[in-house]
Amino acid sequence: MLGELLAHTTSAPYVYSHRWKQGDLVVWDNLATLHTASPCDSSRHHRLLYRAAVR
């Protein structure tokens, strides 16, 4: 059953993939989102990440 749930939640209608551009801001809810980082070529691209928590 867990495999079926994972397949369902990671199917195309529920997946968002972002193509980063300078100045972009993406916000998500960690409690309600399955997420993973995509690879980043750190020799060519500088990544600046901030984390904010709201309780």
Q: Do the beta carbons of residue 47 and residue 40 sit within 8 Å?
A: yes
Q: Which two tokens stand for residue 50?
A: 């901030």
What global pTM score does this model have?
0.52
Q: Is residue 50 part of a domain?
A: yes
Structural domain includes residue 52: yes
The three-class DSSP label of residue 2 is helix
Give the tens place of pLDDT for each residue, 1-55. Answer: 999 998 998 899 988 888 888 889 888 887 778 777 777 778 888 878 788 877 7
Domain boundaries, position 45: 18-55
Q: What are the angstrom distances between the C-alpha of 23 and each of 5, 14, 19, 48, 51? A: 35, 25, 12, 11, 16
* Domain count for the chain: 1
Q: Flag whether 5 is in a domain.
A: no
